[in-house]
């Protein structure tokens, strides 16, 4: 088996996921994991699939056909050698504050400075109550480096939270 990570993007319409799933299945592949989303009228997804060695060629040839038939651009990359289970402690991060440019950069730079990895990130904006402008909210799954504790990351994030004037919570995952 060869493990691929597929990235897919196209204008949203019914049948995109079904078409991709059919290409995987018709080539003997197994849909292992995925994250799919709709953003600003675009469908975007990342999918991990396993494909039998003998079917790799046909599978890779089937992917460009999806762009022609359903408008879904798919790129396939062989999974990295480091693929596997995370080794460090996992934490859940929640941020809420007035929307402004640079927030994601500031928070992710603080995480990087402590050797943390982002396993998942979801962010969005919404109207603040009573006409208070726009709020930015984010949730992330963060993994510390193996053997690291959360004190350094908490300190770095608390400093960022004070500078950005946001509420920031960091909790251990269950």
Task: Point out the domain boundary residue: 78, 110, 135.
Answer: 78
Cβ-based neighbour number of residue 103 at 10 Å: 18
Q: Is residue 85 part of a domain?
A: no
pLDDT tens, residue by residue, 89-146 = 899 999 999 998 888 999 999 999 888 999 999 999 999 888 778 999 999 999 988 8
Task: Point out the domain boundary residue: 78, 108, 134.
Answer: 78
Q: Is residue 135 part of a domain?
A: yes
Q: Are 57 and 22 in the same domain?
A: yes
Q: Is residue 84 part of a domain?
A: no
pLDDT tens, residue by residue, 50-70 = 999 999 999 999 999 999 999
Task: Point out the domain boundary residue: 29, 48, 78.
Answer: 78
Tell me the whole-structure pTM to 2 decimals. 0.76
Handedness of CA 53, 57, 60, 62 (dihedral sign): negative
Structural domain containing residue 94: 90-172
Q: Are 67 and 104 in the same domain?
A: no
Look at the chain and report how many structural domains it folds into.
Answer: 2
d(CA 157, CA 113): 10
Are 139 and 170 contacting, i.e. CB atoms less than 8 angstroms apart?
no
d(CA 173, CA 12): 33
Q: Is residue 83 part of a domain?
A: no
């Amino acid at each position: 088996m060869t493990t691929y990570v597929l990235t897919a993007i196209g204008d949203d319409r019914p049948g995109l996921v079904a078409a991709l799933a059919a290409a995987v299945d018709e080539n003997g592949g197994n849909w292992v994991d995925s994250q799919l989303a709709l953003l600003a009228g675009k469908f975007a997804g990342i999918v991990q699939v396993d494909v039998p060695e003998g079917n790799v060629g046909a599978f890779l040839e089937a992917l460009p056909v999806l762009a022609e038939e359903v408008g879904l651009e798919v790129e396939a990359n062989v999974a990295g050698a480091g693929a596997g289970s995370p080794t460090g402690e996992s934490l859940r991060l929640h941020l809420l504050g007035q929307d402004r440019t640079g927030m994601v950069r500031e928070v992710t730079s603080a995480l990087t400075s402590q050797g943390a990895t982002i396993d998942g990130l979801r962010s969005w904006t919404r109207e603040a109550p009573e006409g208070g402008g726009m709020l930015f909210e984010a949730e992330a799954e963060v993994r510390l480096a193996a053997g690291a504790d959360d004190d350094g990351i908490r300190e770095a994030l608390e400093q960022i939270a004070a500078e950005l004037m946001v509420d920031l919570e960091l909790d251990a995952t269950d």
